[in-house]
Chain A
Amino acid sequence: MRAYILRRLAQSVLVVWAVTTIMFFMFRVMPADPTAILLERGLSDEARLALMEEWGLTGSLWDQYVAYLGNIAQGDFGNSFFYRKPVWDVLFPLIVNTLWIAIPGLLMGAALGAAIGTAVGWAPRGGKLERSGIFLATVIRGVPNFVIGIALLTVFSSTLGWFPGFGMGDPGATTGFARYFTLDFLHHLALPLIAVTIYFLPENLLLMRSGVVENRTEDYIELVRAKGVPQRRVAWHAARNSMLPLITWLFPALAETIAGIVVIEIVFSWPGVGRELVLAVTRQDYPLAQAAFFLLAVMIVLANLAADLAYGKLDPRVVYK
C-alpha cells in the first residue's frame, strides 16, 4: 500500500513537471508581446529591454526555463506583469471565491442528481418516469454552461429582479473574510451556484441511474426484496451500492468544475481564478496565467490521486500493486 502511494506520488510530480514545461514553452514560443501596451505609448528600446529583463524574458530559452523551474521549486511564481506584485498575492483570494461556487455547486449537483437518479433508476423500465427522466437529463446535459448563465440572468435578474445581475457583493458591503457570511454575499452567490448545480446535475443523475439499474438485478437485492422489505428501503440498498462510482467520479469532477467554471465566472462577473486567467491571457500577463493554469493542473492531479486512493479504500476488490 505504502509503496503504491509513493509510486503514485512520484508519478504525480512527474505529471506536474510535464504540464509546467508545456505551459512554459507555449507562452515563450508564441509571438505575443507583453510590452505592447507600453510600446503603443512610446516605450523606448532600452526601457523595453530593462522591462524584459525584470520579467525574466531575456537570455536563451533554456536559461529562462531553468530559472523558471528553480523559482517554482521554491514556490516563487514571479510577479504579475499587470499587478506588479507576486502572483500568489493576486490569486489567493480568487481561489477562495472560485471554491465558493465550485464545491457547493458540485455537491448540490451530486446530491440532487443522486436522489433523482435513484428514483429514475428504480422506476419501472420503459415507464413514463424513467423515459422522461433520461430524456430531460440528456437534453439538459447538452446545454452549454454560458447558455444556462444567460437564461438565469435574463429570467431571475433582468426580468424578475430577484437576484443581482453581477459580482460577488454590493460595492461598499462588508469587506474581509466576514463578507462570506453576509446575506448580501448569499444573494449574489445564488445564481452562479444554481448555474453550476444545473451544469452537474444531469451527469450525476445518469451515472446514478445506471448504477441503480445495474444493482437492482443483483441477487442480494432480490434477496432483500424477497424478505418483504418495503420498496423504498430496497431502493436505498441499490442506491448505496451505486454510490461508489459516483464518489470516485466526484474528485476529478471537482477539478474539471474548477477548470470549466471559467465561463460561468465570466457571465456572472464573479471574481475567481478562471476569470482572472482569461483576463491574464488577454493582457499577456504570462506569470499570472501560468500560475493560474499550474494551480488548476495541480488540483486535477491531486483529485485524480485522491480518487485512485479512495477507490481502493471503498472497494476491497482493488488490489494495490
Chain B
Amino acid sequence: MTQATDDTAIRGRGLFSAMRDSVRLLMTDSFAVIGLLILGLFVLLALIGPWLAPYEPFKAMMTETGRLNRLAPPSAEHLLGTTAFGNDVLSQFLYGFRIALIVGLVAAVAVGFISTVFGVLSGYFGGYVDDVLMRLTDIALSIPTLPFAIVAVALLGPSIENIILVITILFWRNGARIIRSAVLTERERIYVKWARAAGASHAHIILRHILPNIVRIVFLWVTMSVAFAILTEASLSFLGLGDPTVVSWGQMLNIAFSSGNLRTAWWWVVPPSLALVLLVSSLYLIGRAYEEQTNPRLRRR
C-alpha cells in the first residue's frame, strides 16, 4: 500500500468527481443515451414551448361565422386540431411540457433531498435515530400511494404546489430505505474505519466517503422520482384532481375523457399520451442504466 492511496482513502473523494464519474459511466450505456436525448429534447421544449405555442392555451377559437371551432381535426391553422371547447391542442400540448418537468423536477429534488438526509442519518448513526426513522418509514410505506394522493389533493385543494407536496410526502420513504441500506454497507467498509481511526469528523466521513459512494443510488432514486412524480401528477389530473389554472397532459386527457371525446378525437388524445410515455420511458431508461451500475453483478464483463 503506497502513501498516495492511503491519503485518498482517508481524504475520500469529492462529491462532484463522483457525480462526474457516474455521468461518464451513464454515457457508455446506449439506452441511457437514448433516454438522455429524449429528456434533453423535452427540457428544450419546456423552455421554449410557451414561446412556440401559436395561441393562448385557453383561448376559444371561433370560425368565420362566429361559431366556436370545436373538435376540428388537424389543419394548417391548427396543426393538432382543437378541443371540445375550441382550444388549440398544439398550444395546450406545448404548455404541458413545462408543467410536467416542473412537477417532476421540483418533486424529485425534494424527494431526493429528504430521502438522502433521512437515509444517511439513519444508516450512518444507527441506534435510536435509526429506530425512529425506520418506524416512520414503516408507517409511510403502509400508505397506499394513489388513494392517499387522491384524498390529500381533494382535501388540500387542487393546485400544483399541493400536488408537488403530496408527491414528496409519498415518495421519500422508499428512497430513504434504499439509501439507508446503501449507507449501512458503506459504513462497514474498511476505509471508513481507517478514516475514523485517523480522527476524521462525522461530517467529513459523510461528505467525503459515504455520499460520493452512494451518489449513484441517490441519482437512481432521483431519476425514478421524476418519473413517479410525473406519473402521479398525470394520474391525479386524469382523475380530475389537477390544478385547473395550468395545462398539463393529464388534464388534457381528463377533459377529453369527461367530455366524452376520448375515443374519437385522436388528435387531442394521442399527443399528450405519447409525450407522457416518452418522457417517463426516457427516465426509466436512464434509471435502468444506474441500476446496472449500482449492481456490479449485472455489469457486463
Separation of A143 and B273 alpha carbons in the complex (Å): 8
Main secondary structure of the interface of B (DSSP, over half): helix
Selected contact of A32 from candidates B31, B139, B155, B277, CB within 8 Å: B155
A18-B139, A213-B297, A263-B235 given; A150·B273 CB < 8 A: yes
Selected contact of A15 from candidates B139, B146, B297, CB within 8 Å: B139
CB-CB nearest in chain A for B231: A144
A30-57 with Cβ < 8 A to chain B: 30, 32
A139-B281, A142-B281 given; A147·B276 CB < 8 A: yes
Tell me, yes or no, whether B93 is within 8 Å of chain A by CB: no
Contact partners of A301 in chain B: CB under 8 A: 142
Contact partners of A272 in chain B: CB under 8 A: none
Tell me, yes or no, whether A100 is within 8 Å of chain B by CB: no
Query: Interface digits, A59-101 against B, CB 8 Å rule (1 contact, 0 not)?
Result: 0000000000000000000000000000000000000000000
What is the CB-to-nearest-CB distance from B59 to chain A, in angstroms, rounded to a whole number? Answer: 26
What is the CB-to-nearest-CB distance from A302 to chain B, in angstroms, rounded to a whole number? Answer: 10
> Are A259 and B295 within 8 A (Cβ)?
no
Tell me, yes or no, whether A225 is within 8 Å of chain B by CB: no
Separation of A212 and B300 alpha carbons in the complex (Å): 14
Separation of A282 and B240 alpha carbons in the complex (Å): 10
What is the CB-to-nearest-CB distance from A30 to chain B, in angstroms, rounded to a whole number? Answer: 4
Interface size on A, residues (CB 8 A): 58
Tell me, yes or no, whether B111 is within 8 Å of chain A by CB: no
Main secondary structure of the interface of A (DSSP, over half): helix
Query: Interface digits, A274-300 against B, CB 8 Å rule (1 contact, 0 not)?
Result: 100110011000000100110011001
Contact partners of B107 in chain A: CB under 8 A: none
What is the CB-to-nearest-CB distance from A271 to chain B, in angstroms, rounded to a whole number? Answer: 16
Contact partners of B135 in chain A: CB under 8 A: 11, 14
> Are A304 and B144 within 8 A (Cβ)?
no
> Are A15 and B138 within 8 A (Cβ)?
yes
What is the count of residue pairs linking A and B with beta-carbon distances less than 8 angstroms? 143
B132-153 with Cβ < 8 A to chain A: 135, 138-139, 141-148, 150-152
Tell me, yes or no, whether A4 is within 8 Å of chain B by CB: no
> Are B263 and A158 within 8 A (Cβ)?
yes
| Chain B interfacial positions (CB closer than 8 Å to A) | 31, 135, 138-139, 141-148, 150-152, 154-156, 227, 231, 234-235, 238-239, 253, 257, 262-264, 269, 273, 276-285, 288, 291, 295, 297-298, 300
Besides A15-B142, A131-B31, A144-B277, 19 more A-B contacts (Cβ < 8 Å) are A22-B139, A134-B288, A139-B281, A141-B281, A142-B278, A143-B276, A143-B277, A147-B253, A147-B277, A154-B262, A157-B263, A214-B298, A259-B146, A262-B147, A262-B150, A277-B151, A293-B147, A301-B142, A304-B141
| Chain A interfacial positions (CB closer than 8 Å to B) | 11, 14-16, 18-19, 22-23, 26-27, 30, 32, 125-126, 131, 134-135, 138-139, 141-147, 150-151, 153-154, 157-158, 206, 210, 213-214, 217, 255-256, 258-260, 262-263, 266, 274, 277-278, 281-282, 289, 292-293, 296-297, 300-301, 304
Can you sample 11 A-B contacts with CB below 8 Å?
A138-B288, A142-B281, A143-B276, A144-B234, A158-B263, A206-B288, A214-B298, A259-B144, A259-B146, A300-B141, A304-B142
